[in-house]
């Protein structure tokens, strides 16, 4: 028979063209899926580094770490890696691959050919509704939260758009065939390079002083009335005297939601400058108080400093905070 394949002919010639097409599509899909998962995973690692640097710039008090906290963070890090891998798989299946398919269909239908810019356009449109919902939940008077939301929206669009663009290049008909293992190797190489560069830049930024530091106070700056916002006040005078009025003290088993023990009385205070802004504190002694009344640590900003003590178990990281009282309590006028 003329159509009979001669012995010794290449294997591809013995397979119907439709079956060969299915094999090529399956191979391309496997490579594209591997690339999507790998890119998303390394994006998550780089994003975690950026998030850590951002957290270091935020106004947070100095909270101590013990061995249990370090072990807990280590375990949570391992869980985070596993969750990142699972999340990359789910996002690839549910978002990235459908995004590439829809963008290709729209390109061929609207533009007459498959064009790359449909991918970022669809990613931006898909993130608009969640962004508007999040912006509507921000209270009035918080423009920095709105700007942070816009930045988060842009980063989300970029995080999904990049792997989708990589996948698109792999599934184009005129692209050479790339195996999944080879693609994983390339993504791992460039992804590791990106992680190293991001980590190095983060280290340089933190070393240069981009991280948050509490304001450096003085005894003169501390003198005055400080309030907990719930009626408790403590007044420091320049001569080292202190007057407590309803300031709360807590036991080891309490938390910041407990009522605490109100403290009212007079005593003394002293400012300890320490070796730096993180080690400064204010020591307070009031004999009438039951429980600890300090020492008070410092955080906040130079324009609006704050004093705090840890409430109950230090590992709980609950804080009791005093702020400068801008509205001192008016004393009744006596005739």
pLDDT along the chain (335 residues), means of 10: 44 46 56 89 91 86 67 80 88 91 89 86 80 60 61 82 89 73 85 94 92 91 91 92 88 60 89 90 85 82 90 71 72 40
The answer to whether 255 and 316 are in contact (CB under 8 A) is: yes
Q: Are residues 202 and 318 in the same domain?
A: no
Domain that holds residue 315: 219-324
Q: 128 and 223, same structural domain?
A: no
> Per the structure, how many domains does the chain have?
2
Q: Is the same domain home to 145 and 107?
A: yes
Give the separation between CA 323 and CA 227, rounded to whole angstroms. 5
- Whether 224 and 203 share a structural domain: no
So what's the pLDDT on residue 164?
92
Residue 171 lies in a domain: yes
- Residues 106, 172: one domain? yes
81: phi then psi, degrees, rounded to nearest 5: -65, -45
Q: Is residue 329 part of a domain?
A: no
In this structure, the answer to whether residues 32 and 151 fall within a common structural domain is: yes
* Final residue in a domain of this structure, among 159, 179, 207: 207
- Residue 259: burial class (beta carbons within 10 Å; 0-12, 13-18, 19+): exposed
Answer yes or no: is 333 within a domain: no
Say whether both 195 and 98 belong to one domain.
yes
Q: Give the separation between CA 76 and CA 130, rounded to whole angstroms.
A: 28
Q: Is residue 212 part of a domain?
A: no
Q: Which of 207, 229, 246 is the last residue of a domain?
A: 207
Query: For residue 129, what pLDDT is reported?
Result: 66
Let me know whether 258 and 154 are in one domain: no
The pLDDT score that the predictor gives to residue 27 is 56
237 and 163 within one domain = no
Together in a domain, 60 and 145: yes
282, 307 Cβ separation under 8 angstroms: yes
Residue 243 located in a structural domain: yes
Q: What is the pLDDT, as a whole number, of residue 153?
A: 80
Q: Which residues of 208-231 are buried (b: 16+ CB within 10 A; e: fewer)?
A: eeeeeebbebeeeebeebbbbeee
User: Domain end: 159, 186, 207, which one?
Assistant: 207
Task: Please check whether residue 194 lies inside any domain of the structure.
Answer: yes
pTM of this prediction? 0.73
Report pLDDT for 6: 45
Question: What residues have CB less than 8 Å from 321, skipping those under 6 apart?
Answer: 228, 229, 306, 307, 308
Q: Are residues 308 and 167 both part of a single domain?
A: no
Does residue 1 lie in a domain region? no
Give the containing element (helix H, strand E) for 266.
strand 261-272
Indicate if 151 and 267 belong to the same structural domain. no
pLDDT at 310: 82
Dihedral sign for Cα atoms in the order 114, 117, 119, 124 = negative
123 vs 160: CA distance, rounded Å: 7
Domain for residue 214, yes or no? no
Confidence at residue 144, expressed as pLDDT on a 0 to 100 scale: 56
């Amino acid at each position: 028979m003329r159509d009979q394949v001669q012995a010794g002919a290449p294997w591809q010639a013995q397979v119907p063209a439709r079956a060969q097409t299915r094999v090529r599509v399956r191979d391309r899909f496997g490579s594209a899926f591997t690339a999507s998962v790998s890119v998303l995973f390394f994006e998550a690692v780089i994003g975690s580094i950026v998030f850590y640097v951002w957290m270091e710039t935020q106004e947070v008090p100095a909270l101590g770490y013990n061995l249990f906290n370090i072990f807990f963070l280590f375990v949570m890090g391992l869980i985070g890696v596993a969750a990142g891998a699972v999340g990359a798989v789910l996002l690839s299946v549910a978002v990235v691959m459908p995004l590439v398919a829809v963008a290709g269909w729209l390109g061929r239908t609207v533009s007459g050919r498959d064009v790359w810019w449909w991918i970022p356009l669809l990613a931006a449109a898909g993130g608009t509704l969640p962004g508007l919902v999040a912006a509507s939940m921000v209270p009035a008077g918080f423009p920095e939260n709105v700007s942070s939301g816009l930045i988060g929206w842009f980063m989300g669009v970029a995080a999904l758009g990049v792997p989708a663009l990589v996948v698109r290049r792999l599934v184009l008909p005129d692209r050479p065939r790339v195996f999944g293992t080879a693609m994983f190797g390339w993504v791992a190489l460039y992804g590791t390079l990106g992680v190293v560069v991001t980590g190095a830049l983060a280290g340089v930024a933190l070393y240069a002083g981009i991280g948050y530091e509490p304001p450096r106070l003085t005894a003169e700056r501390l003198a005055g009335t400080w309030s907990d916002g719930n009626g408790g006040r403590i007044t420091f005078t320049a001569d080292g005297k202190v007057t407590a009025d309803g300031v709360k003290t807590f036991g080891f088993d309490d938390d910041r939601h407990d009522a605490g023990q109100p403290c009212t009385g007079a005593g003394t205070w002293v400012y300890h400058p320490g070796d730096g802004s993180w080690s400064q504190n204010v020591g307070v002694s009031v004999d009438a108080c039951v429980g600890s009344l300090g020492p008070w640590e410092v955080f906040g900003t130079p324009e609006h400093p704050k004093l705090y003590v840890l409430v109950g178990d230090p590992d709980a990281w609950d804080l009791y905070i005093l702020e400068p009282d801008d509205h001192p309590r008016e004393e009744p006028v006596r005739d």
